[in-house]
């Protein structure tokens, strides 16, 4: 039985924008859903270049899913509004770093990291 994980995550867009959503791993698939719908749902074999940059202090990840590059923060960015989709209020640094550690365990086992 494979682990599953579901956490609030903000897709970082450019230098100043973010989009709230939910990053999920279930049954060997990684997906990201926003209020506008599903951004991607791919098998982990289609996820590559997984990096947890030191500048995110463990609270974010960069990855390529199905050929498209994404950056995610597990800590609520300064510009972010709360989202009913996430089911949570603002996520602080400690909670975001815990989520990052959980994602690192899941993604390091199965995704193609660089």
pLDDT digits (tens, 9 = 90+) for 69-87: 999 999 988 777 666 566 6
Conformational region of residue 87, where left means phi above 0, alpha means psi within -120 to 50, and beta covers everything else: left
Q: What is the mean pLDDT of residues 34-47?
A: 93
Mean pLDDT of the chain: 86
Task: Compute the average pLDDT of residues 82-99.
Answer: 74
Q: Which helix (H) or strand (E) holds 32?
A: strand 29-34
Q: Is the pLDDT of residue 1 over 50?
A: no
Say what the alpha-carbon torsion angle 98, 68, 81, 101 is, to the nearest 10 degrees: 0
pTM for this one? 0.85
């Amino acid at each position: 039985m494979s682990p599953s994980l579901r956490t609030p995550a903000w897709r970082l867009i450019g230098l100043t924008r973010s989009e709230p959503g939910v990053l999920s791993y279930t049954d060997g698939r990684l997906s990201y859903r926003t209020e506008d719908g599903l951004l991607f749902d791919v098998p982990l074999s289609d996820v590559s270049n997984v990096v947890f940059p030191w500048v995110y202090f463990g609270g974010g990840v960069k990855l390529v899913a199905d050929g498209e590059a994404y950056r995610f923060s597990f800590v609520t960015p300064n510009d972010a509004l709360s989202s009913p989709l996430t089911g949570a209020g603002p996520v602080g640094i400690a909670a975001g770093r815990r989520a990052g550690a959980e994602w690192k365990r899941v993604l390091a086992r199965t995704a193609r990291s660089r």
